[in-house]
Amino acid sequence: MKKLILSLAVVGIASTVAFGQKKVVKSAEKNLNRGNLEEAYTEIKTATADEETGAQSETYFIKGKIETKMFEADSSNTQSTVDLGRVAQESFVKTFEMENNDSTSKVSKDLFKEVLPDMPPNFQGEGIYRLKNASFNKAIAKYEEEDMELSHEFFALAADLDPNDTSIVFNAGYTANMIGNTEAAKKYFTELLDVPEYNKLNAYYFLIQIASAEDNDPEEAYRVVTEAREEYPDDKGLAEFEIQLLLQLDKMDEAMTSIEKALVNDPNNPAIRLRYGYLKEKSGDMEGALEEYKKTVEADPEFFEGNYYAGAIYLDKARNIITEVNNLSDDEWEAKSETMLKEADGLYLEALPYFTKASELKPDNTDIMEILFQIHTRLKNEAKAEEYNQILSDKLGDNWIER
């Protein structure tokens, strides 16, 4: 009989403890609604440590709601604010896991209830989307303060809470890229590639740039370009990236094929024409290369590279002729030198407008000035040669010719 009474007493004590913890949960919720956040938080943490109430999703949902309101109220917007937001996120994730990831359950419906503008508080969600909106607002505030590190942290939290919000996910990747956090940037930009109907072009551009420049991985950059071109076959920028990477990877045949296809859709693209000229020059077709370089300038007279490379072809041809003249025998000199030197001067004259324009486009480039000095000297344009001599002396010193 004593054993029975003792057993009943133990059961009674256990029931009292369990009931007491349930009261703590209810008290925490009441304090949450009254705005007594510190008291509510102390109570709910006690409840999560209890064997019974700590096994209930509702307990963690209330914990997350308290943490979200504390997160909202923290106007310091420091890393500790971010950390609190991440703790709230963990509470909400645990809530959903305890509901077996069932979005149709009552708790889950409350967890994912939308936050709607101009609606009464009792119609507003207090879970995932409230935390997301608060984090987004803090991200914008930090962005406007030009604190990109913390802006990224808040954007990243908001993006992790709602990966379907492509604008926020993009901003998380964009701010990560701005602060040099390439791993985070790749994470968020890559997430966007899996969103149906989303215009992924900018995400692809960033991923290509990161792979090519920051990671120095042209193979990966080419893989991303290839994937992007399958989805956006008519994008001119992607076509240029593809050609550039093929050249970088020394895939000349593929580059030539890609260039020829690109020129069908964009025949006046100077950058593509330039690469076409480069390929022809590399194959030994100097006349073909010159033709392509000249076409770039016809398409865009302000295109520096086209002007420079067209001039360089003429200059090389002239110098080759002069080298031939210097190697002529005495008999050949008498018969051929005058005609050959006149041809060389004609090529110098052809090169002159291209290098002049290139110098106008890059007025501080002394290498081009030296070329112009040499051309004017060769053509006996003494006044122009002296003009360049004076400029180069001012920039490089009086003995610039001897250096």
H/E stretch holding 129 reads helix 128-144
Q: Is residue 275 part of a domain?
A: no
pLDDT of residue 21: 59
Domain interval for residue 124:
23-176
The residue-averaged pLDDT of 126-147 equals 96
Residue entry with tokens 């420079």: 308
pLDDT of residue 152: 98
Structure tokens at 306: 């086209």
The percent of residues in the chain predicted with pLDDT above 70, rounded, is 93
Q: Is residue 66 part of a domain?
A: yes
Q: Is residue 230 part of a domain?
A: no
pLDDT of residue 156: 98
176 closest CA partner among 131, 228, 214: 214
Do 74 and 91 form a contact (C-beta atoms < 8 A)?
no
Confidence band, pLDDT 50/70/90 cuts, at residue 15: very low
Region of poorest pLDDT, from 33-37, 179-183, 190-194: 33-37
Q: Is residue 324 part of a domain?
A: no
pLDDT at position 19 over 80: no
249-299 residue pLDDT tens: 989 889 888 888 888 888 999 989 998 998 888 888 999 999 999 999 999
Region of poorest pLDDT, from 192-196, 228-232, 260-264: 260-264
Q: Is residue 362 part of a domain?
A: no
pLDDT of residue 120: 65
pLDDT of residue 8: 42
pTM, whole model, 2 decimals?
Answer: 0.72
Q: Is residue 28 part of a domain?
A: yes
CB neighbours of residue 388 within 10 Å: 22
DSSP 62-113: HHHHHHHHHHHH-TT-SHHHHHHHHHHHHHHHHHHHHTTT-TTSHHHHHHT-
Kindly provide the b/e burial profile for residues 128-159, where b requires at least 16 CB atoms within 10 angstroms of the residue's own CB. Answer: bbbbbbbbbebbeebbeeebbebbbbbbbbbb
Q: Give backbone dihedrals phi and psi of 214, rounded to 5 degrees, phi first.
A: -70, -45
Q: Is residue 308 part of a domain?
A: no
39-68 residue pLDDT tens: 989 888 888 888 888 889 999 999 999 999
211 closest CA partner among 178, 239, 185: 185
pLDDT at position 17 over 50: no
The residue-averaged pLDDT of 364-390 equals 94
pLDDT of residue 11: 44
Q: Is residue 274 part of a domain?
A: no
pLDDT of residue 255: 87
What is the widest separation between alpha-carbon atoms in the chain?
138
CA distance 323 to 321: 5
Confidence band, pLDDT 50/70/90 cuts, at residue 185: very high
Mean pLDDT for the chain?
A: 90
The percent of residues in the chain predicted with pLDDT above 90, rounded, is 66
CATH number, domain at 30? 1.25.40
Query: How many structural domains comprise the chain?
Result: 1
pLDDT of residue 52: 86
Higher pLDDT: 352 or 14? It is: 352
86-127 residue pLDDT tens: 999 999 999 999 999 999 999 999 999 988 776 666 667 889
